[in-house]
Amino acid sequence: MTGAEALIEKGIEQGIERGSREMLIHNIFTVLSERFSQAEVEPVRASLETVSDLTILTELFRIALHIPSVEVFLHTIDTTDE
């Protein structure tokens, strides 16, 4: 593999990861928006943007399905991202 091919491959991998991250954030926000008021959910977006790990975002998606409140979800983000 040439240097150029390696750079292209790395760029593709980064693009896929970025897209996956953006989709997970979108899906979490959608689930929370269905369950809670828009005013409650809006602060979540900024907090989710600080999470870069796809495994953590996947777990947050699962948590969003059952969490009792947005406040508890935000606390979960804060403790998960440490």
Question: Residue 82: pLDDT above 80?
Answer: no
Angle, helices 38-49/3-35, rounded to nearest 10 degrees: 160
Q: Quick count: other Cβ atoms within 10 Å of Cβ 43?
A: 12
pLDDT > 90: what percent of the chain?
84
pLDDT > 70: what percent of the chain?
98
DSSP 68: S
CA–CA distance from 31 to each of 6, 9, 15, 22 (Å)? 37, 33, 24, 14
Instruction: Report pLDDT digits (tens) over 39-58.
Output: 999 999 999 999 999 999 99
**pLDDT, mean of residues 13-24:** 94
What is the pLDDT at residue 81? 58
